[in-house]
Amino acid sequence: AEWVTIQKSTGYSPFYIAHSIQPLLPFNLAEATYLCPDFDKPVSTEVLIAQRAIMLQKRPEDLERVHLLVLKSRWAAVRRFEEKFGNSIVDFNHQPGTLVLVRNSKADKDLSKHNAHYLGPMVVVRRSRGGAYMLSELDGSVSRLWFAAFCVIPYAPRDIRRIPVHSLVDL
């Protein structure tokens, strides 16, 4: 359905009576049926039909304008997010040979102080283009798992030295 019929006796649509919320009509992005101005007061049926005809014209300049506005608002939201959470956003770029700890996600669900919340230390072997890390144990055995960047934090050893990895076991 493209519109909701209001019952004269109740003043509400059957959907509103059944669910106590206004129905959300489906938007067809391919047909650009969302390009409609906001109506702040009741309008006649002729105006609604005219607006529907305008929506179905598929004007490329309107679609381009909406596309640019959506992109602009998305980038503005990204900038606002980075400004708001700039102090807590950290992007570690661990180099090969760096000691790291890996978050134990199983311990997050337990809420117990007795379980280790981080595993390691482990040695970074390499980082993928997507940001995941290939890690190895201190003895050189490489894990077959890739670890997401948010699970890997730097290890702060008491003695600041890099661990040279001379040989990897089963790469």
120, HSE (Cβ side, Cα atoms, 13 Å): 25
The pLDDT value given to residue 60: 75
The pLDDT value given to residue 65: 80
The pLDDT value given to residue 139: 85
Cα(6)–Cα(14) distance, rounded to whole angstroms? 7
- Write the pLDDT tens digit of every residue in 48-99: 888 777 766 766 777 788 788 888 999 999 999 999 998 888 778 888 988 9
* Domains observed in the chain: 14-84 (no CATH), 91-171 (2.30.30.140)
Question: Considering only CA atoms, which of 69, 62, 9 is closest in space to residue 51?
Answer: 62
- Write the pLDDT tens digit of every residue in 114-150: 766 788 789 999 999 988 999 998 888 888 889 998 8
Report field, pTM of the whole predicted structure over 0.75: no
Question: Considering only CA atoms, which of 127, 102, 139 is closest in space to residue 117?
Answer: 102
Among the ranges 9-18, 36-45, 130-139, 155-164, which has the highest mean pLDDT value? 130-139
Question: Considering only CA atoms, which of 168, 169, 171 is closest in space to residue 97?
Answer: 168
